[in-house]
Structure 1
Amino acid sequence: MKTIKPLSERKDLFLFLAIIWTFFIAYLCLARFKSLPKIGLSGADKYVHVILYFVFTSLWSFYLKAKASFSNASLVKVVFAAIVYGSAIEIAQGLFTTTRKADIMDVLANTSGSILAVMAILIGTRFAAKKI
């Protein structure tokens, strides 16, 4: 039977995934796409932003947790970093691309994704603590 490695032994993996995801967001938000698929759901791009930043916040939080420097203050820092990063991406879209525009609603969707991730992490942490 295979044993599962403790979280602390996975910190390099979480760091790698968090960095890759961070660059992935930048690529998706700044690259020029000739055609994007049309989705019949109103505001579908906002759901994409929520998901992108939910994963962003989760991966960076998991890295900090694996690094053993995790606390509620760490979560606040990760959310702050997500807001700053998302805002910087939106500003870059407005300044450096011709096919995209800066959108405050994207920043709000990014922030919502980060807050949802924090809520999920806090609930998961409390649930796991009660199971032990």
Structure 2
Amino acid sequence: MFWIALLWTGVVLFLCLVQSDKIPAVNIENLDKVVHAFFHFVFTSLWILFFKTQIKDPDSYKPYIISFLFSVLFGVTIEILQGQYTTTRKEDALDVLANMVGASLAVFSVILYFKNRRLSKI
């Protein structure tokens, strides 16, 4: 799971820092916010699954907290890098908010998945 999470992290990093003039333009309002939320939903989900293998306590919320904070920090870092090191992108606080929405949805979705899975075994 580590390598899948790391690969997705690299994909997100690349897609968020590549010059935007190299990405095909799609004129759907706020599509970029949906993409940011999706990126961080998958990012956070994969890191939760990885950290759950490292933290053996099935009732621990540490994997969720660590993954959420990692996602937020990663997203903020990308926004800063976009503002500092790219010429076709800019920092956007709404992108950070979209990242947090995606990360939050991931945390709640994975929690629900494991709770339902545990209940179905009873």
Same fold (TM over 0.5): yes
C-alpha distance in structure 1 between counterparts of 2:18 and 2:101, whole Å: 23
Q: Could you list the per-position Cα deviations for residues 4-60 of structure 1 after superposition, in whole angstroms to 9, with x for gaps in the alignment?
A: xxxxxxxxxx10011111111110011114343333421000000011000000111
Q: Percent identity?
A: 34
Q: 1:34 aligns with which of 21, 37, 41?
A: 21
Could you tell me whether the CA contact under 8 Å between 2:40 and 2:100 is conserved in 1?
yes
Which structure would you say has the larger Rg?
Answer: 1
* 1:44 corresponding residue in structure 2: 31
Moved segments of 4+, more than 6 Å: none
Q: 1:69 to 1:95 in 2, by over 3 A?
A: farther
* 2:47 corresponding residue in structure 1: 60
How many corresponding residue pairs?
119
* 1:10 corresponding residue in structure 2: none
Tell me which amino acid in the other structure corresponds to 1:86: G
What secondary structure does 2:33 align onto?
Answer: helix
C-alpha distance in structure 2 between counterparts of 1:69 and 1:17, whole Å: 20
Structure 1 residue ranges without an equivalent (≥5) = 1-13
C-alpha distance in structure 1 between counterparts of 2:6 and 2:46, whole Å: 9
Structure 2 residue ranges without an equivalent (≥5) = none
Tell me which amino acid in the other structure corresponds to 2:44: T
What secondary structure does 1:34 align onto?
Answer: helix
C-alpha distance in structure 1 between counterparts of 2:116 and 2:36, whole Å: 27
Which deviates more, 29-38 or 108-117?
Answer: 29-38
C-alpha distance in structure 2 between counterparts of 1:39 and 1:31, whole Å: 16
For 1:113-128, list aligned pairs within 5 A. 113-128=102-117
C-alpha distance in structure 2 between counterparts of 1:33 and 1:125, whole Å: 38
- Residues 1:25 and 2:12 are matched in the alignment: yes
C-alpha distance in structure 1 between counterparts of 2:52 and 2:62, whole Å: 12
Scaled by the length of structure 1, what TM-score is found? 0.84
Scaled by the length of structure 2, what TM-score is found? 0.91
* 2:62 corresponding residue in structure 1: 73
